[in-house]
Amino acid sequence: MLVLAIVSLLLVMAVPSWRYVQTEAVINGAQITLDRLVIRQLRFFQRHQRYAEASELPLLQALAPEIAAQYRLIVVTQGSAAYRLELLPLDPMTLPALSLDHTGRRGLNDAVSDAWVD
């Protein structure tokens, strides 16, 4: 009985930590995917003297299928010299929205922490 209680206590403590690690891994993977998309944007700009629209970039499913299961990609171009890449979570209560623009400025909008502030 004591062994069962100890195992239960360990599980109660380990499961939230494991979920946190999994969430952080998805967020890090999404940030790496944004970096890869920036490289694609720079290559596209060198060839066409403008940044690519969403339809001209590779599909998120082809680039990072594990991220495509959690996020959707939005590309906002502002003329031919500026863009912003956004990864919007399919479940905004568990993952933050991420963005990266042409200047390298990163953005992170965590809906969960914003809800706790209100």
pTM above 0.75, yes or no: yes
- Measured CA to CA, the distance from residue 54 to residue 51 in angstroms comes to 10
Give the tens place of pLDDT for each residue, 29-41: 999 999 999 999 9
Per-residue model confidence (pLDDT) at position 83: 94
- Measured CA to CA, the distance from residue 39 to residue 25 in angstroms comes to 21
> In DSSP terms, which residues pair with 74 in a beta bridge?
86
Per-residue model confidence (pLDDT) at position 114: 46
Q: Which two tokens stand for residue 92?
A: 């905004």
Structural domain count of the chain: 1
Q: Which two tokens stand for residue 65?
A: 């299928």
Q: What domain range is 75 assigned to?
A: 2-117
